[in-house]
Structure 1
Amino acid sequence: MMASKVRSDVTMADVAAAAGVSRTTVSFVLNKRQAGIPEETRTRVLEAVSTLGYRPNAGARALASQRSDWIGLLTEIVTAPFAVNVIKGAKDRAWADHKYLLIASTDDNVTDAAGLADQTVQIEKLLEQRIEGLLLAATWHRAITVPDVAREVPTVLVNCFDAAGEFPSIVPDEVGGGVVATQRLVAAGHTRIGFITFEDDIPAGQGRLRGYTRALEAAGLPFEPTLVTGGDATALGGYDAANRLLDLAERPTALFCGNDRMAMGAYDAIKERGLSIPGDLAVTGFDNQELVSAYLRPALTTVALPFEEMGAAGVATLTALIQGEEVPSLQTVSCSLLERSSV
């Protein structure tokens, strides 16, 4: 049996004729305005809407009201680690604010036939849908260049910031995360704590190092430059850096690793020397990249980046901006410690 085909050209006037009411009455019912309309009339209008398969013309409604209830979210390839958490947080908060997300992905290294950067092209497409505001979300914390076209609507940056400080930004509290990761090791009785940071001079590395030194100072422990070493943000980088620290005449008894992949490499370096975790060395990581942290043995105590919370905060800030409210130029979101078995 073939399903009946719903007409796509049903108008509000068709609904009004089927329900035996005026077009204005239909408009009031669909927009949930009371206007003294009897409940029986409302029921008749809604039955006609259902029977005819009428759907409001969102484009026309947006043109008339200058509102669409749509928020654009532009991020890098959406299969990147953590991107789904930003999207979930943004979607849940948008739903609570009676808004909807229109999601586009971008690749900064791609241009179209006219030479326009992919990011600009994707924002143009979102603007064509009459979005009320725009979120630009990065998969790793860094400074970005915001395309000029983003200035056409209220715009908020998530997990990134613009160097000029023109746009409100939501970023993780890297310093606070560094503090809690180091404090956990101090609380376990460690006084000689190594820190494996990144070779690249990026906000995550800068902030986590400040957090490490701040926690040492608060505990009355001296900062020793020999206990800080860098590597690329991979398991191999963590392996090499851990070996340098373990080669010290007085090796550390605990390691704070700049991310979970580096911690995975540090695990290998520690175990190759016949040392145990956490018996001989305690280890903390950062990011909570669950495919790594939850499945290392022992499971890794780490600091979680608040991607879902940043997505939600981005939408809340954007909604306030759309409504003409003042918003902070920079907001930091706390990073929480996840206790597992490596300390």
Structure 2
Amino acid sequence: MTSPLATGKVTMSDVARHAKVSRTAVSFALSDPEHPSVSAETRQRILEAVADLGYRPNAGARALASRRSDWYGLVTEIVTAPFAVNIIKGAQDRAWHDRRFVLIASSEGDGDMEEAAVEKLLEQRVEGLLYAATWHRAVKVPDIAHEVPTVLVNCFDADGVLPSIVPDEVAGGRRATERLLAAGHRRIGLITFDSDIPAAIGRRDGYSSALRAAGGDLDDELVVGGGATATDGYAAAVRLLDLPVPPTAIFCANDRMAMGAYDAIKERGLTIPGDISVVGFDNQELISAYLRPSLTTVALPFEEMGARGVDLLSELTSGQVTGPLQVVVDCPLVERSSVRP
């Protein structure tokens, strides 16, 4: 007869025979370390048998029996995108702290693939889902996601039903502008997005509120729509620099546009931050840390949003929700070298 060690298919019954106990005792000992019907001596014998035989519990069977799998699913559009990686890291680190694990599925922004990804994760009996977007917006998740607790990360439910974790765009825009005000600037340009996405609205509102709080007047000619790319940022910065009275500082609504603004400023023979200060937004490190001078920017808290998503999902799966169903996460300033002292 072939031994279970030879086939690698060690069962609970094999463990029971090896430990000279009932299969029920093995089940109790492994599923509930404090089960009153299993003595400490018997439990120790069972654990030694598990180690001797290399037994690994069947996760699917255990999930069915306990209605817990210790797995969360995470669906995101592009797993390899820089921001998605940080969301994944935050979620995985926080889940691991709670001895849970995250299964990751990429949807590539395709609706059919997204639904299939959710379906596959549910087949693995995940206890809950994180749905993460690469940019902040309203989303419509597949209907089947409602079968388990689901938390949206860096996006919010268009139907207003599912809880979400989103960045504080307004506070981030205000913080960027306040940094320039603190450096003595009063004529501050804003290069913003053309579209009315939450980032555009929130960051502009933060800019406006900071100027008002400082007693300044809002000047529409200092606000230029610039798309979202470095090329857009360059064109917008040229328009600002061509004004009869150009700004002494520019707040760019993302780091890519700040990169374009750098080129426009340097083409005029101006220096950063000597002649003009620049602040970005996103903290896209492949850009902000390697521009010369390095870019002072406001960070989108992707890693923290991933972690907070797991926290909220844990509350939902345990039935112990204690906070609001939309969590707004602060966007901190990352100080570098593009604002004059």
- Give TM-score, length-normalised by structure 1: 0.94
**Amino acid of the residue matched to residue 276 of structure 2?**
L
- The CA deviation at 1:161 is 0.8
| Residue 19 of structure 2: aligned partner | 19
Is the 8 Å Cα contact of residues 300 and 340 (structure 1) preserved in structure 2?
A: yes
Taking the aligned partners of 1:73 and 1:288, their CA distance within structure 2 comes to 23
Report Cα offsets for 1:123-155 as digits up to 9, x if no partner: 000000111111100011111111111111111
Task: Look up the match of 1:320.
Answer: 315
Amino acid at match of 2:271: S
1:47 has 2:42 as partner: no
2:9 corresponds to which residue?
Answer: 9
Change (3 A) 1:51 1:204: same
Looking at structure 1, the residues matched to 79 and 169 of structure 2 have their Cα atoms a distance apart, in angstroms, of 23
Matched, 1:69 2:73: no
Extract unaligned runs of 5+ from structure 2.
none
Contact 1:253 1:281 in 2 (8 A): yes
* Structure 1 position 342 matched with structure 2 position 338: yes
Query: Does the aligned pair in 2 maintain the 1:6–1:52 contact within 8 Å?
Result: no
Alignment of 1:128-139 (within 5 A): 128-139=123-134
- Quick check: 2:78–2:109 contact (8 Å CA) kept in 1? no
The answer for unaligned runs of 5 or more in structure 1 is: 111-116
What amino acid does structure 2 have at the position aligned with 1:13? Answer: S
Q: Which moved more, 1:53-62 or 1:24-33?
A: 24-33
Counterpart amino acid of 2:20?
Answer: G
Q: Judging changes above 3 Å, is the alpha-carbon distance between structure 1 residues 325 and 34 closer, same or farther for their aligned structure 2 residues?
A: closer
* 1:204 partner amino acid: A
Q: What code does the residue aligned with 1:133 have?
A: G
Measure the CA separation in 2 of the matches of 1:54 and 1:7.
12
Percent identity, aligned pairs only? Answer: 66
Distance 2:8 2:119 in 1: 27
Displacement of 1:5 in angstroms is 6.8
Give the aligned partner of residue 183 of structure 2.
Answer: 188
- Bigger mean CA offset, 126-135 vs 24-33: 24-33
Matched residue pairs, number?
334
TM-score (norm 2): 0.94
Q: Which residue pairs with 1:96 in the alignment?
A: 97
Q: SS at the partner of 1:178?
A: helix
Residue matched to 2:116: 121
Matched residue type, 1:123: V
Name the CA shift for 1:153/1:38 in 2 (closer, same or farther; >3 Å). Answer: closer
Give the residue type in structure 2 aligned to 1:121. A
Aligned to 1:82, the other structure's residue is in SS state: helix
Post-superposition offset of 1:38: 5.0
Asked whether 1:174 is paired with 2:169, we answer yes
Asked whether the equivalents of residues 165 and 329 of structure 1 are also in contact (C-alpha less than 8 Å), the reply is no
CA drift at 1:201:
1.6
Offset of residue 319 of structure 1: 1.0
Secondary structure at the aligned position of 1:296 is classed as: coil
**2-side partners of 1:5 and 1:314: how far apart?**
41
**Maintained 8 Å contact 1:170/1:313:** yes
Identify the residue that residue 326 of structure 2 maps to in structure 1. 330
Aligned-partner residue type, residue 17 of structure 1 = R
Q: Secondary structure at the match of 2:134?
A: strand
Please state if 1:278 is matched with 2:300.
no
